[in-house]
Homo-oligomer: A and B are copies of this chain.
């Protein structure tokens, strides 16, 4: 952080990032918190305000771009990733942020989503996951749990949901993290990490929709349940959770096992140490989402599951162009017009 804060070109404040547009989310919507955290973090990123660009799709979440006093485009449903790719390819100087919903990203936008992960443009991708289509008033989304009663599933959804982190990893994401609307500090940290990561940073933000899917994630923020249900990941730290940190996770071969740190037996020393660069571990952690290894119930991981840099698309593109400029140089227009076979008539 420090170094970045030092670079800070203009001294900006959170207010500098709030646009004059009236915020039109419902009272109590989790989106408000996300907006606040982004506006809190941005001044410290050391990026000139005019270099931030938000590209959003369509959905309650996607209204986000209207509320940031940066450059922004509220585009069309599911296409934000593809538009953002064009923005970044054309001008790598810009700090490009995508804001999208679970429907926008995982349903209609699924193809652009996986291709963005693969191509690895240096874009920060925030997916507000409320596990519902909200703007259209409450239909199940590809992240809604099986059995969910919604307007389009009056008898319960029959669909197996995506596990967004697992999907991103399967599509070769270089950065995968999860955070929560109700944990401001945590979110701020993740936003900073996403910004720092060179390459596509996929951040899933659990966001409460009080109107159509209220309380979907309270278990991960409520005092009573939080410690048992949420697992806070920190690079190099052991996987520990539970009321008064009494539970840990170890690896028994390939199988994650929850152990009681109070009792003796297998204990602290064996604990699984989180390693953001280990994709195998990242895959396992991602699967805590819905896999009951040996019938155990795992806490939901929050934090950076995976972060491993690899060349970005725009860097590869620039490098190739530079190389050709050296090798071939710029062909003069007249040469292009004439081609290599001409004849003259007098």
Stretch at the interface among A2-10, A201-209, A280-288: A280-288
A71-87: contact bitstring with B at CB < 8 Å (1 yes, 0 no)? 00000000000000000
What interface size band does chain A fall in? 35 or more
Residue of B nearest to A165 (CB): B170
Stretch at the interface among A93-101, A113-121, A180-188: A113-121
Assembly stoichiometry (copies): 2
* The residue from B114, B255, B323 contacting A114, defined by CB atoms under 8 A apart: B114
A13 within 8 A of B: no
CA distance A111 to B319 in the complex (A): 30
Q: Cβ of A172: which chain B residues have Cβ within 8 Å of it?
A: 160, 162-163, 166
CA distance A118 to B155 in the complex (A): 20
Knowing that A158-B313, A279-B287, A280-B284 touch, tell me 12 more A-B residue pairs with CB under 8 angstroms: A111-B111, A118-B160, A119-B159, A120-B160, A166-B172, A167-B170, A167-B171, A170-B170, A254-B254, A254-B278, A255-B280, A283-B283
A225 within 8 A of B: no
> A-side interface residues toward B, CB under 8 Å?
108-111, 114-115, 118-120, 142, 155-156, 158-163, 166-172, 251, 253-255, 278-281, 283-284, 287, 291, 310, 313, 316-317, 319-320, 323-324
Among all A-B residue pairs, the 4 with the closest Cβ atoms: A170-B170, A158-B316, A111-B111, A110-B111
Q: Is there contact, CB below 8 Å, between A158 and B310?
A: no
* The residue from B162, B254, B319, B324 contacting A118, defined by CB atoms under 8 A apart: B162
Chain A to chain B contacts (Cβ below 8 Å), 18 pairs: A111-B111, A114-B167, A119-B160, A156-B320, A158-B319, A160-B172, A162-B172, A166-B170, A168-B170, A169-B170, A170-B171, A251-B253, A251-B254, A254-B280, A255-B280, A279-B287, A279-B291, A280-B283
| Nearest Cβ on chain B to A46's Cβ, whole angstroms | 28
From A115, A170, A253, residue with most partner B Cβ within 10 Å: A170
Q: Cβ of A291: which chain B residues have Cβ within 8 Å of it?
A: 279
CA distance A161 to B114 in the complex (A): 11
Q: Is there contact, CB below 8 Å, between A313 and B159?
A: yes
CA distance A173 to B320 in the complex (A): 36
| Nearest Cβ on chain B to A144's Cβ, whole angstroms | 12
| Nearest Cβ on chain B to A127's Cβ, whole angstroms | 15
Q: Cβ of A109: which chain B residues have Cβ within 8 Å of it?
A: 111
CA distance A307 to B159 in the complex (A): 19
Q: Cβ of A114: which chain B residues have Cβ within 8 Å of it?
A: 110, 114, 162, 167
Q: Is there contact, CB below 8 Å, between A320 and B155?
A: yes
CA distance A282 to B324 in the complex (A): 41
